[in-house]
Each structure stands twice: as C-alpha cells, then as structure tokens.
C-alpha cells in the first residue's frame, strides 16, 4: 500500500479518518494490507489531508432546500349521453388535466411566488418549464395531499412535455403524516387550519372560477384568474404555517443534518446538534433505540443505540 492507495481506502471508509496514525496502521495490518512502504509520517499527512477535506465539505454544505407548493388544475371535459350515474370511459374524455396556476414558497424566504398557464395556447408547458427549474432544486417538497395529487400531476405534466423531473424528491405530505398520528373529524386543510387556530382558507365562488378560466369572457377570465392566484398563494402560506405547527409531533421524511454532512445524531428537521435524550425504548426483538428531542424545535427522532453511544 502507498499513500495514494491509503487515500482511496480512507475515501471508502470515512470512519477511519478519525483514528490516530498508529491505530490506523494496526487496523491496516489486521486487515491484511502490506504497509511496509508507508512511514508513520506519511500516514499522518494523509490523515491530516482527509480531515481537512471532510471539514471543508461540512462548512460548504448549506441547509436543505425545502419547497412548499400547491397547484390548481383545469377541468377535464367529457361527452355524456345524459344525466345520472354512468360510466365515463377514456374515449369520452376530450382533453387532459393541465396546471392553471402553481404557487410556491421556499422555506426561509418570505415570498410566495406563482406561475400561470397560457390561456391563449391552453397550455401549461411554459409554466411547467419554469416551475421545474425550482422544483428540481428541492431537497424536499411540502404540500397538502401532494403525494397523491400535486406531485403526481407535476410528474405527469413533465412526462407530457418531455421535461426533466425529480420523481425521487423527498415529500412531506402533511395530510398523510397528520393522519398517521391524529384522529380528526376532517382532514381537509380548511378544517385542520381552523382546528389549529390559524386563519381559514380564502373563500372563492367555486366552480364558476374554473368555468371563467376555461371559457369566460376576457374580463371574467381576468377576474377569476386573479382570484385563483390569490387563493393559491394563500393556500401555500397556510400550508407552511400548518407544517411548522404540526411538525414536532410527526416523523420526518428526510434527515437535514446528514444532508449537511453531519452525524445521524443531529436533528433531522433543522440539522441542529442539540438533541437531548428523551426516552430509551426497546423493540420486541430486543434492540435498544434512543428517542432524542431537539432543543431548538422540539422535534423528536429515533437513533440507534450504537449511534447514541458513539456520541457520548
Ligand atoms: Zn431541530
């Protein structure tokens, strides 16, 4: 083994970077490497380089980019023979779901942004191109029922227009997470926000707004579109407010700390280092787990006992 090979070994097994040179040399011998050509000083130097590098990486890592968003979609027209219960097959459908407006807000920014479709072209292609520039930057997206609705519509419209989309984006669907932990009479966003004592959703004049947007006169279109944007923007602001209210009671979907190059002991929500032991639990299989609580935001998270002991 030479210094280059040792460097590669350490890149592969980052845990050994923290060892002293003597200890590391013993480990290498135990593992069957021939280190006769390596001096202790050389090993020290390689270790120093690697520590420097890993520190530089940590400083550079910025907080995760988290995007709250909400979309409003168009009608799908279908031909029918009359009223009453009936089966509507795909050949009766005349057009496809498109995104009329999308509102979004980066966590940490104060501004809710929005995009509108092109009514003239009856197309969301431009909207999608612009929105995906943002969406694809996100480490996590937040929404209300977005795992079942918004994310899938975004994916479908990207597919339609042949655009790049991150289908692996981490997604915190507040409705889905809330359902796992709380039993509420309703899981509509309007109800939950009322339950939490937050401002209600904006009122709008229902289906007429969508009709105006699809077929209304220029004046009606303008008025209804302005209302839809307002409604959409308000929803995003409210979604984020709800997220911050409920987050500490729920499990997360990603680890902010690890994403920033820190250890698993850091808070998965804020990446902070100030987790305190909250409870020790033991699984049915006898494994010890530690429940930590972040001092900053109250978020609780589980770590393995090995990880916990390592941090002491
Ligand atoms: Zn935290």
| Helix 218-246 and helix 207-215, axial crossing angle in degrees, nearest 10 | 130
Return the pLDDT at 280.
98
The pairs formed by 267-276 with CB atoms below 8 angstroms and a separation of 24 or more are 267/292, 267/294, 267/296, 267/297, 267/299, 267/301, 268/299, 268/301, 269/294, 269/297, 269/299, 269/301, 270/294, 270/296, 270/297, 270/299, 271/63, 271/64, 272/296, 272/297, 275/301
- 253 CA from centroid of ligand 1 (Å): 14
- 299 CA from centroid of ligand 1 (Å): 6
- 274 CA from centroid of ligand 1 (Å): 8
Q: What is the pLDDT of residues 283-301, one digit of tens each?
A: 999 999 999 999 999 999 9
- 257 CA from centroid of ligand 1 (Å): 9
- 133 CA from centroid of ligand 1 (Å): 28
- 80 CA from centroid of ligand 1 (Å): 54
Which residue do the tokens 């970077």 mark?
17
Return the pLDDT at 242.
97
Angstrom CA distances, 109 to 44, 103, 104, 151, 240, stand at: 44, 14, 11, 22, 11
- 188 CA from centroid of ligand 1 (Å): 27
Return the pLDDT at 60.
46
- Rounded to two decimals, what is the model's pTM? 0.79
C-alpha 273/C-alpha 312 separation (Å) is: 13
- 279 CA from centroid of ligand 1 (Å): 17
Which residue do the tokens 């916990």 mark?
308
Strand-pair partners of 282: 288
- 98 CA from centroid of ligand 1 (Å): 38
Return the pLDDT at 56.
61
- 235 CA from centroid of ligand 1 (Å): 25
Task: Select the more confidently predicted residue: 21 or 73.
Answer: 73
C-alpha 24/C-alpha 203 separation (Å) is: 66
- 236 CA from centroid of ligand 1 (Å): 23
- 304 CA from centroid of ligand 1 (Å): 18
Phi-psi domain of 225 (left: phi exceeds 0; alpha: psi -120 through 50; beta: other): alpha
Of residues 132, 118, 123, 122, the one with CA closest to residue 163: 132
Return the pLDDT at 97.
96
- 266 CA from centroid of ligand 1 (Å): 8
- 30 CA from centroid of ligand 1 (Å): 40
Q: What is the DSSP letter of 274?
A: -
Give the SS3 label for residue 134.
helix
Q: What is the pLDDT of residues 216-251, one digit of tens each?
A: 999 999 999 999 999 999 999 999 999 999 999 999
Please report which confidence band the pLDDT of residue 98 belongs to, taking 50, 70 and 90 as the band edges: very high
Return the pLDDT at 9.
87
- What pairing do the DSSP bridges indicate for beta strands 288-294 and 275-282? antiparallel
Q: What is the pLDDT of residues 171-211, one digit of tens each?
A: 999 999 999 999 999 999 999 999 999 976 767 778 899 99
């Amino acid at each position: 083994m030479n210094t280059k090979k040792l460097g590669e070994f350490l890149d592969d097994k980052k845990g050994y970077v923290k060892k002293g040179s003597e200890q590391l040399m013993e480990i290498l011998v135990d593992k069957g490497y021939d280190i006769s050509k390596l001096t202790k000083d050389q090993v020290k130097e390689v270790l120093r380089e690697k520590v420097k590098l890993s520190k530089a990486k940590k400083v550079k890592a910025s907080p995760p980019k988290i995007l709250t968003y909400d979309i409003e979609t168009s009608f799908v027209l279908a031909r029918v023979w009359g009223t009453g219960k009936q089966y509507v097959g795909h050949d009766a459908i005349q057009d496809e779901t498109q995104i009329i407006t999308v509102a979004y807000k980066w966590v940490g920014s104060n501004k809710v942004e929005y995009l509108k479709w092109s009514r003239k072209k009856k197309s969301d292609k431009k909207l999608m191109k612009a929105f995906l520039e943002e969406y694809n930057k996100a480490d996590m997206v937040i929404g209300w029922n977005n795992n079942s609705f918004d994310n899938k519509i975004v994916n479908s419209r990207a597919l339609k227009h042949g655009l790049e989309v991150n289908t692996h984006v981490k997604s915190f669907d507040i409705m889905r997470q809330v359902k796992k932990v709380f039993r509420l009479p309703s899981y509509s966003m309007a109800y939950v926000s009322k339950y939490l004592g937050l401002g209600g959703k904006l009122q709008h004049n229902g289906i007429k707004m969508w009709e105006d947007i699809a077929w209304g006169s220029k004046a009606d279109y303008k008025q209804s579109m302005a209302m839809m944007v307002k409604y959409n923007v308000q929803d995003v602001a409210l979604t984020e407010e709800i997220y911050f209210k409920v987050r500490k009671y729920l499990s997360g979907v990603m680890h902010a700390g690890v994403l920033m190059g820190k250890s698993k002991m850091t808070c998965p929500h804020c990446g902070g280092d100030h987790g305190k032991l909250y409870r020790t639990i033991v699984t049915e299989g006898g494994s010890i787990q530690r429940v930590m609580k972040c001092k900053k935001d109250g978020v609780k998270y589980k770590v393995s006992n090995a990880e916990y002991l390592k941090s002491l």
